[in-house]
A and B are shown apart, each in its own frame.
Chain A
Amino acid sequence: MTRYRIADDVAWVSQEDLDVDEVPTAYLTRVPGGPPILLEGSGCVVWLALAEGGTLEEVTATAASMSDSTVEDISADVAVLVDQLVAIRVVEEH
């Protein structure tokens, strides 16, 4: 079963680290030479779920619990986003 995790060369910070109470937002980059990337709203929720690692089903379940959504409602969107994050190599499959 494929598991997902944040890539080893990624630095990231979320609005929680910054002590600001705004829309859930994560800022990330591949160090040292990557561009800055923004994940806002539900994208940030998926990112925080990915920070805990797991299979796509586990990541989706974590994201659902963080956002008061159902797994059924969000699973397709989460799958698309995770694919995109893998494609830009900020998330690794293992």
Chain B
Amino acid sequence: MSLPGGWHDERMTGEVERTAPIAARVHLAHAVVQKLADDRGIDLLHLKGPAVLPGLRPEGRHSSDVDVLVRPSHLSRLVEALESIGWEQRTDFTTGSVFAHAANWWHDDWGWVDVHVSWPGVTLDPEQAFDVLGREGQVRAIAHRDCPVPGLIAQRLILVLHSARSGGAVDVDLAWQQAPTADQDAVRRLAGELGAEVALAAGIGELELHRGAPTYALWHHFLHGGSRWDEWRARLAAAQGARAKAHLLTSAMRVNRDHLRMELGRPPTPQEVRSRQLLRVRRAATELAERVRRP
């Protein structure tokens, strides 16, 4: 679109190019997702990025994708809504992360949306956890549209848990260290209600108080790293029940086709999957051999 010469400049209007700032796309994408939810009665909470309340995020820091927590029983409706306007699923819930808590979709205009049905570290039933996290929720304007977000205490906890999961302390300073004591106490109470005490402890430097917990090794791995073998051993320890442990063992050696697709930029061929499978088995064997040799 262009206008005759005069006061306006040459690039007065036009369609956003693919190089539009990611921050702008993320703001608009939050609004798009919320409109989809509004039209279908889907309960959502917007997380991270522009959904974070003032004071909890360093100035000038932006997200590169949209994160939403959906009421688990509304997930199928949200997926249908996203895909109705061109979002394409790129990972599913079993391959998206260690916690099987999120999957992501890609849109050529709006980029990535990560759909969470639970939050890493929270062990309460996801449907109940959604209610708890949204209990003191607020409405925040994102791209001049009303978007529901968790309240202050829940946001502090979410940021600390995310930081622990990411093995860093990026958000902990504002979300925890600088929080008033009363807020820290409230975060601890909320973590207790959500069964997220160990994850919170990992985020605030108190993990060693939970050495006997089933998830201790997993959070230790996130904080301090280790081999894939260590990670799987930690995940096995954290898995609750025989069925969960069996499922984990089965998937441990399976190639993550979603990640391979993202790495290649196209669907992998059967031969590429087999080749990666072989590599994965070799890598596991090498790690195991090194552990055996270690004094």
Interface residues of A, Cβ cutoff 8 Å to B: 6, 9-13, 17-20, 27-29, 31-33, 35-43, 69, 73-74, 76-78, 80-81, 84
Residues of chain A contacted by B17 (CB below 8 angstroms): 38
Contact across chains for B62 and A38 when beta carbons are under 8 A apart: no
Contact across chains for B12 and A39 when beta carbons are under 8 A apart: yes
* B31: interface (CB < 8 Å): yes
If A13-B24, A13-B144, A81-B3 touch, whether A27 touches B8 (CB-CB below 8 Å) is no
Q: How far is the CA of A11 from the CA of B8 in the complex (A)?
A: 23
Q: How far is the CB of B233 from chain A (nearest CB, A)?
A: 43
Contact across chains for B85 and A41 when beta carbons are under 8 A apart: no
**Chain B stretch 33-68: residues in CB contact (< 8 A) with chain A:** 33-36, 39, 59-60, 62
If A11-B28, A12-B144, A18-B24 touch, whether A38 touches B6 (CB-CB below 8 Å) is no
Residues of chain B contacted by A29 (CB below 8 angstroms): 28, 31-32
Q: How far is the CB of B5 from chain A (nearest CB, A)?
A: 9
Contact across chains for B145 and A11 when beta carbons are under 8 A apart: yes
Q: How far is the CB of B270 from chain A (nearest CB, A)?
A: 36
Residues of chain B contacted by A80 (CB below 8 angstroms): 3-4
Q: How far is the CA of A42 from the CA of B13 in the complex (A)?
A: 9
- Mostly, the B contact residues are loop
Q: Interface size (B, Cβ < 8 Å)?
A: 38
Contact across chains for A42 and B143 when beta carbons are under 8 A apart: no
Contact across chains for A12 and B143 when beta carbons are under 8 A apart: yes
When each residue 247-259 of chain B gets 1 if its CB lies under 8 Å from chain A and 0 otherwise, what string results? 0000000000000
Contact across chains for B59 and A77 when beta carbons are under 8 A apart: no
Interface residues of B, Cβ cutoff 8 Å to A: 1, 3-4, 6-9, 11-17, 20-21, 23-25, 27-28, 31-36, 39, 59-60, 62, 81, 85, 109-110, 143-145
Interface centre among B3, B7, B39, B110, by most chain A C-beta atoms within 10 angstroms, is B7
Contact partner of B7 among A36, A74, A84, CB < 8 A? A74
Q: How far is the CB of B52 from chain A (nearest CB, A)?
A: 13
Q: How far is the CA of A40 from the CA of B21 in the complex (A)?
A: 13
Contact partner of A32 among B3, B36, B143, CB < 8 A? B36
Contact across chains for A84 and B15 when beta carbons are under 8 A apart: no
Contact partner of A69 among B7, B21, B28, B62, CB < 8 A? B7
Contact partner of A19 among B59, B85, B110, CB < 8 A? B59
Q: List 21 A-B contacts (CB under 8 A).
A: A11-B28, A11-B145, A18-B23, A18-B24, A27-B28, A28-B28, A31-B34, A31-B145, A32-B81, A32-B85, A36-B15, A36-B25, A38-B14, A38-B17, A38-B20, A39-B13, A40-B13, A74-B6, A81-B8, A84-B3, A84-B13
Q: How far is the CB of B86 from chain A (nearest CB, A)?
A: 8
Contact across chains for A31 and B7 when beta carbons are under 8 A apart: no
Residues of chain B contacted by A32 (CB below 8 angstroms): 32-33, 35-36, 39, 81, 85
Contact partner of A36 among B6, B9, B39, B109, CB < 8 A? B109
